[in-house]
């Protein structure tokens, strides 16, 4: 699976370098929205990650109807809770959680001649979880979704986007939390290819320039 994602990533980079369409433009954007997280089921209990407001930046370059984007998303108000299983003698634990999402996306626009244009995205990158009391962990991750862009004028446009985000674990890699009889400590593995499914909705503005 890791080889497939590496091939896709290199293909996106190659497409960016070799694309020579005439109508190219750069853009920079800001966004705000809401990040939805989920829960992770463990033998020792389960971990629940709460939702959080999010803010982010987008830097991109258009090639005709397509674009390559770097997107950074920051969510600082999430909460991580661990609900223990009495059988394993583990207790309830909680921590503040900050999430950083870095993605390189390919976006494809449809109906490019219209002021209102739907688009789809797919990308690869990294997702960094920082739990204040439990430690931190970086995951390889993918995201995919769709949205719409509306041209306010030649340089400014409104962007609405929704997407799914999947942090991935290869070869039984460890989650950033471990659970033992003494409570929660770093280092124990979660054997799952995707320990959690995330999603977000955002609204923002892009500024286009040559």
Q: Which domains are assigned to the chain?
A: 2-209 (2.40.160.20)
Q: Given this model, what pLDDT does residue 23 score? A: 56
Residue 19 makes CB contacts below 8 A (sequence gap 6+) with 63, 64, 66
Dihedral sign for Cα atoms in the order 113, 117, 118, 120? positive
Residue with the bigger pLDDT between 20 and 24: it is: 24
State yes or no: pLDDT of 124 exceeds 80.
yes
Please report the pLDDT score of residue 90 as a whole number.
Answer: 64
What's the pLDDT at 186?
Answer: 40
Burial class from Cβ neighbours inside 10 Å (0-12, 13-18, 19+) for residue 42 reads buried
In tens, the pLDDT along 153-190 reads 989 999 999 999 988 764 444 444 443 434 444 433 44
pLDDT of residue 181: 38
The rounded radius of gyration (Å) of the Cα atoms in the chain is 19
Higher model confidence: residue 37 or residue 146? 146
Q: What is the overall mean pLDDT for the chain?
A: 79
Between CA 169 and CA 160 the distance in angstroms is: 29
CA 78 to the chain's CA centroid: 15
| CA atoms of 57 and 118, how far apart (whole Å) | 20
pLDDT of residue 189: 42
- Digit-coded pLDDT (tens) for 33-85: 999 988 777 666 677 888 999 999 999 999 888 999 999 999 988 888 877 76
| Beta strand segments in 64-197, E | 66-84, 93-109, 116-131, 135-151, 156-168, 178-180, 183-185
Angle at CA of residue 85, ends 83 and 88, nearest 5°: 130
Please tell me the predicted confidence (pLDDT) of residue 132: 82
Residues of the chain above pLDDT 70, percent: 70
In whole angstroms, what is the distance from residue 140 CA to residue 177 CA? Answer: 17
Token pair in block for residue 198: 């995330």
CB contact at 8 A, 189 and 177: no
Query: Do residues 183 and 91 make contact, with C-beta atoms less than 8 angstroms apart?
Result: yes
Q: How far is CA 176 from each of CA 77, 134, 186, 188, rounded to the nearest angstrom?
A: 18, 8, 6, 8
Range from 20-24, 75-79, 201-205 that averages highest in pLDDT: 201-205
């Amino acid at each position: 699976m890791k080889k497939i994602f590496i091939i896709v990533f290199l293909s996106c980079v190659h497409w960016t370098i070799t694309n020579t369409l005439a109508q190219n433009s750069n853009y920079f954007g800001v966004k705000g929205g809401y990040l939805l997280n989920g829960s992770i089921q463990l033998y020792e209990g389960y971990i629940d990650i709460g939702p959080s407001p999010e803010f982010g930046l987008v830097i991109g370059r258009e090639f005709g109807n397509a674009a390559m984007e770097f997107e950074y998303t920051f969510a600082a108000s999430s909460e991580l809770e661990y609900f223990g299983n009495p059988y394993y003698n583990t207790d309830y634990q909680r921590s503040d959680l900050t999430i950083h999402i870095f993605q390189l996306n390919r976006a494809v626009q449809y109906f490019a001649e219209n002021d209102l244009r739907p688009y789809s995205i797919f990308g690869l990158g990294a997702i960094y979880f920082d739990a204040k009391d439990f430690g931190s962990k970086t995951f390889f991750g993918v995201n995919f979704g769709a949205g719409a862009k509306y041209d306010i004028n030649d340089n400014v446009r409104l962007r609405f986007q929704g997407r799914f985000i999947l942090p991935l674990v290869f070869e039984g890699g460890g989650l950033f939390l471990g659970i033992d009889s003494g409570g929660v400590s770093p280092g124990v593995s979660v054997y799952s290819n995707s320990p959690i499914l995330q999603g977000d909705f955002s609204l923002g503005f892009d500024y286009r320039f040559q």
